[in-house]
Structure 1
């Protein structure tokens, strides 16, 4: 270690840093290991360490970060019993079936609401494109699509008797056939 300011800072704060780490870890050997990591990071700074305005604060910040990493890696995990089923990637059949009801409910909305929902949600175009298409500003288009979505949701709840679970996801509904043409 050839940088005097680094040597002086490490000597001045070693005891305080060791106490800080031991108090939080409980095991002196773990604290000493982390202290060595802090010193190595300081040594890697070489001459740049002398430019640090508050070496004590820098050393403690590095020690806190090393401590957080150590505690994160040392978390204890509880093994799950073998009889717990693995999660599956299922489509939401209820939501997929709900598409039977959507054409009829869409046809019952106003032309402006139907355009906004079809344009952005069904065709996948952006709200900016909707604004350009309608000749209005982006905030107006955003408001329009949000109001149309609220009215669509209300119609789905009323017309198709859509129900939502505690998480707000569709859990069930009563299908309505499309209007005869």
Structure 2
């Protein structure tokens, strides 16, 4: 027997019972565990001289056994046939769409000036310059009023509707009022 095979056989004899126990413990089928054990042995044999230069043959064998076990489980995982007649689950409403009822209610709670500028500029799409002209304001005053109105509306939404924002400031959810 050549030196490379004796090195592999010695390591195999030393660690085979432990590897077998490891695989049998993790698999429901002892015959499949034996098959995987043989795969590990074959991979060790294919290493040839390189196997003998391993710093920790036991660790290598267990890593190969773990990988074989994972591959086996991926290939043989149980699947359940699903009927095509099942209705598709309803997609949850986008956070902003679900928040629309709360926004409508909060608008009624704002001052008439705040409600007007938000409805005109943000909801109806009026240009700020047009709003400024029709209300006898400068563009800078209109921008300032709109920013303050948005801030007050945001505070009211946060308080009354428990609006949650992500780190970028986007709405991610809310708790509607009764």
TM-score (norm 1): 0.49
Q: Name which one, 1 or 2, has greater alpha-carbon Rg.
A: 2
